[in-house]
Amino acid sequence: MTHPFRKTTVAMADGRELIHFDDTEPWLSGERVRSAVDHRPLPPADETLRGGSQVRFDPLTGDWIAMASHRNDRTLMPPPDQDPLAPTVPGGFPTEIADSSYDVVAFENRFPSFSNRIGGQAGFLDGEELWPTRPAAGRCEVVCFTSDTRGSFATLTPHRARTVLEAWIDRTEALNATEGVEQVFVFENRGEEIGVTLPHPHGQIYGYPFVTPRTATMLRRAREHREATGRNLFRDVLDAERRAGDRVVLSTEHFTAYVPAAARWPVEVHLAPHRDVPDLAALTDAERADLVGAYLDLLGRLDRYYPDDHPMPYIAGWFQAPAHEGREEFRLHLQVFSVQRGPGKVKFLAGSESAMAAWINDTTPEKVAARLREVSQ
């Protein structure tokens, strides 16, 4: 059965777009409609962002690097009564969400790395052809999972988690169709150890104006594999992990989670569908329902991995096919990983990893997978 929700789009005080995804009454049935007005005295986003971000080409790596100096002024760990992602209560701090309650919302980031509001022309830094530049077009959105001020995706009910998934799907489809967007990345950062600046349960979506370096590398490898074997690399990796079995963490009707054979991080798990699909939007209703249970199960195991009460810090990112290329070669999958290498211990990306991108893991994938199987409920 299709998951019911109601989508409503409203304007914020500075003209940015905010989208409600309601899964509770009276909003779900339309008995009440979202009509709260954002009264904050904000200057128009088109003015504040114009000429803001720029991407510059690195001739040594072929990477595009975003320069977004305005993000240095973004909100950092505000006091609880000034949570910008909480609902706006009468007489209280005016937040990004004008309503006094909400279910799930997505909105344009006030401090985006990429935005189609930036404008400007492509050119060359200092007139040198070595350094092409162009406006950092695209879009960055925030997705608030709940109006509760504490928690994460892992603490959501299955019903609410499904609504968040539907919001991700909606935004993936919309951003894939947005001019200038080449790749959509859905992700959640959790924990101060990761660098989270707002504790409110939320994630982000980036619509990049280029195919990211990591994706470009995977696409190149996938194309080489297809030329050599005639098969899909992502499919072969999943099949090989399922055959080996000792790195598999869990398996459902439609998904398998495993610790990759060459894991980089102290704790790293990939979650992949059994069917070849390019992105979240291509999942069937049955696959979406199954995904919610598998993902919540996996995140629960991560929180029980270490024998302490501290939730595991992690980055969870959905790797999806680019909007316009590689959609036959690429395959949807989740990568969730943590810098925590032990209770109270964090792996720092020092010389080898940061300078040379040469990774050294302090454990083995087989040990990590065995522990994650051990802490199932």
Active-site positions read 202
Give pairs for 368-372: CB < 8 Å, separation 24+: 368/259, 368/263, 368/266, 368/267, 368/268, 368/269, 369/246, 369/247, 369/248, 369/249, 369/258, 369/259, 370/246, 371/305, 372/249, 372/259, 372/269, 372/298, 372/301, 372/302, 372/305
Pairing mode, if any, of strands 202-208 and 139-144? Answer: antiparallel
Query: Residues 178, 108: contact at Cβ < 8 Å?
Result: no
CA separation for the pair 238, 333 (Å, rounded):
10
- The residue count of the chain comes to 377
Q: Which of 113, 318, 320 is nearest to 211 (CA)?
A: 320
Which three-class secondary structure string do you get for 8-72?
EEEECCCCCEEEEEECCCCCCCCCCCCCCCCCCCCCCHHHHHCCCCEEEEECCCCEEEEECHHHH
